[in-house]
Amino acid sequence: MSKPDFSDPAIVERLTAALEAAGVDGIEITRPDQSLLIRLSGSANAAVRQLLARRTDAEGVLVVVKAPMAGVFWPTDLSRTSGPATSAASDMIGLLQVGPILLPVAAGPSQRLRRHLVETGTVVGFGDPIAEVEPEA
Amino acid sequence: MIEIIQTGPFNTVQDLGRPGFRNIGVTTSGAMDPLALKIGNSLLGNESGAAALEIQTYPFKLRFSKATAFAVTGADCGASIGGRTIQPCCALSVEAGQVLELGQPRVGTRAYICITGGIDVAPVMGSRSTSLRGAFGGREGRHLMTGDTLQLGEVSNPLNLPAAGLSVVDPTYALAEVYPAPQDGVLLVRAIPAGEHALFGADAERFWSQTWKISTQSDRTGYRLMGDPIKPTTPVEMRSHGVVSGVVQVPPSGEPIIQMADANTAGGYPKIAGVIEADLWRLGQARIGSRLRFVRVTHAQAAEVEKAVTGFVEDVRLTSRMVCGALQAMS
């Protein structure tokens, strides 16, 4: 049996429909060459889908960094406005604010930020995807 | 243990000072920015008044001789560990042999290096603070020198810090409601009129309305201000009386002096005002040559600011331990 291509919209669509029918909030599938995350946040009338399909390419594998705990997402230390002083360690992808405390979230060894997956000031829960990172060039 | 690898003059061991001995001529000493000291210690799980290094001349470099954790608070001086820049006001674990380096401050003037367990020098009259004028306390009563080694204290319940560390929201941002922002670069310093305020007549109003500049004759003992002199309506001669940090005296020159952490214990100059205790840390971070204006407040307003600041420090202490505990439980 051939492996399904998780970047194929038709497969994503079928999986989403199956999740909705089963009343499941989301699914995450990871294998060496691809990973897929589908999250459904339903309203009374329609389900909203957040799809993240990644594929191995010449530059390497994208990895999703998840929130290590609940907090408010900040891409940088917004409480300090002194220009260079706000620059963080090079592998930092953001901070989670919990009251007066800021928890730095690192990209991981030899990884760099590709893009954030949440807006500044968003409340995230434990395990929520907050950024995509990729191997350093 | 830590070893000082590079230091300038006037860097000392400080805690929250030794109150209670001014009657016998012993100045209180203690951190010029006590808020930074309390935040750093609270973040690390130390007692809020544990002794730390107060750095006011740069560059400064130390080596950790054993694995521990530290936080650099107060001035943002682009601290780095092992050559890697660290977040301002961030508590981090370190391995034995790692070197912490502080450069020239980009914001503020005094940085505090707090370390798990605190700096364990012998307490003198209940405090580990260095009294440079008295030549006691801290490290042999003197400022730190290259080659000095300092022991660290023990903590019964240390925090298990995450690998990327834990930092604190800038108190100026977190406490913006109780700390008015500088206006056109002028620091607003709140004060309460003091005993001889009325002696200055119309000049008293100029004390509040004008912008003063912090002169180069400023140190841990006091800040001499520069501006249009203010004079009492008639010359006064007073007997020496007790003064505390925050007291604003007006010498015959008419340019005020703010008593700071190493305040004289007595003085005879008329007192026009007293800076509220909760604003002294902002003066402790003000640069020589910077400008300030006094803002008149009441005792009740001062108490409100104090309450907010105390609440913030307590929040840092509780949340820091809670976050470390939660991360450990979920790992």
Q: Mean per-residue pLDDT for A101-117? A: 89
Q: Mean per-residue pLDDT for B180-195? A: 95
SS3 of chain B: the string is CEEEEECCCCCEEECCCCCCCHHHCCCCCCCCCHHHHHHHHHHHCCCCCCCEEEECCCCEEEEECCCEEEEEEEEECCCEECCEECCCCEEEEECCCCEEEECCCCEEEEEEEEECCCECCCCECCECCCECCCCECCECCECCCCCCEECECCCCCCCCCCCCCEEECCHHHHCCCCCCCCECCEEEEEEEECCCHHHHHHHHHHHHHCCEEEEEEECCCEEEEECCCCCCCCCCCCCCEECCCCEEECCCCCCCEEECCCCCCEECCCEEEEECHHHHHHHHCCCCCCEEEEEECCHHHHHHHHHHHHHHHHHHHHHHHHHHHHHHHHC
Structure-model confidence comparison of residues A109 and B276, the more confident one: B276
Residues A50 and A97 in one domain: no
Residues A52 and A62 in one domain: no
Residues A19 and A47 in one domain: yes
Residues A7 and A27 in one domain: yes
* Closest chain B C-alpha to A49 CA, distance in angstroms: 27
- Note whether A89 contacts B: Cβ–Cβ < 8 A: yes
Instruction: For B311, name the nearest residue in chain A, comparing CA atoms only.
Output: A100
Which CATH code, of 2.40.100.10, 2.60.40.420, 3.30.450.80, 3.30.2130.30, is assigned to B186-297? 2.40.100.10
End-to-end CA distance of chain A: 35
Residues A46 and A18 in one domain: yes
Q: Choose the weakest-confidence range: A4-13, B48-57, B227-236, B258-267.
A: A4-13
Q: Pick from A80, A81, A97, A98 the residue to mutate for testing the B interface (most B CBs within 10 Å).
A: A80
Residues A47 and A108 in one domain: no
Residues A66 and A122 in one domain: yes
Structure-model confidence comparison of residues A51 and B284, the more confident one: B284
pLDDT of residue B158: 87
Q: Which of A69, A82, A104 sits opposite B107 (nearest CB)?
A: A82
B181: number of CA atoms within 13 Å, CB side? 6
pLDDT of residue A82: 58
Domain limits for position A125: 58-137
Question: CB–CB of B168 and A102 under 8 A?
Answer: yes
Question: CB–CB of A69 and B106 under 8 A?
Answer: no
Q: Mean per-residue pLDDT for B102-113? A: 96
* Closest chain B C-alpha to A130 CA, distance in angstroms: 16
**Contacts B174 to A, Cβ<8 Å:** 79, 100
Q: Which of B107, B164, B312 sits opposite A105 (nearest CB)?
A: B164
Residues A82 and A16 in one domain: no
pLDDT-based confidence at residue B191 (cuts at 50, 70, 90): very high
- Note whether B221 contacts A: Cβ–Cβ < 8 A: no
- Note whether A84 contacts B: Cβ–Cβ < 8 A: yes
Structure-model confidence comparison of residues A63 and B147, the more confident one: B147
Residues A68 and A128 in one domain: yes
Q: Which two tokens stand for residue B120?
A: 């364990």
- Note whether A109 contacts B: Cβ–Cβ < 8 A: no
* Cβ pair B3, B97 in contact under 8 A: no
pLDDT of residue A18: 83
Residues A50 and A69 in one domain: no
Tell me the whole-structure pTM to 2 decimals.
0.86
Residue A101: which CATH number?
2.40.50.100
Residues A135 and A102 in one domain: yes
**Contacts A89 to B, Cβ<8 Å:** 84-87, 164
Residues A81 and A123 in one domain: yes
**Contacts B76 to A, Cβ<8 Å:** 80, 82, 85
pLDDT-based confidence at residue A4 (cuts at 50, 70, 90): confident
pLDDT of residue B121: 97
Question: CB–CB of A104 and B170 under 8 A?
Answer: no
Please state the domain extents for chain B.
Answer: 2-171, 186-297
B177, amino acid identity: E
**Contacts A88 to B, Cβ<8 Å:** 85, 87
Mean pLDDT, chain B, rounded, equals: 95
For chain A, the domain total comes to 2
- Note whether B92 contacts A: Cβ–Cβ < 8 A: no
Cβ neighbour number for residue B168 with a 10 Å cutoff? 30
- Note whether A83 contacts B: Cβ–Cβ < 8 A: yes
Q: Write the pLDDT tens digit of every residue in B7-29.
A: 999 999 999 999 999 999 999 99
**pLDDT of B76 strictly over 70:** yes
Q: Mean per-residue pLDDT for B41-54? A: 96
**Chain A / chain B CB contacts < 8 angstroms:** 88
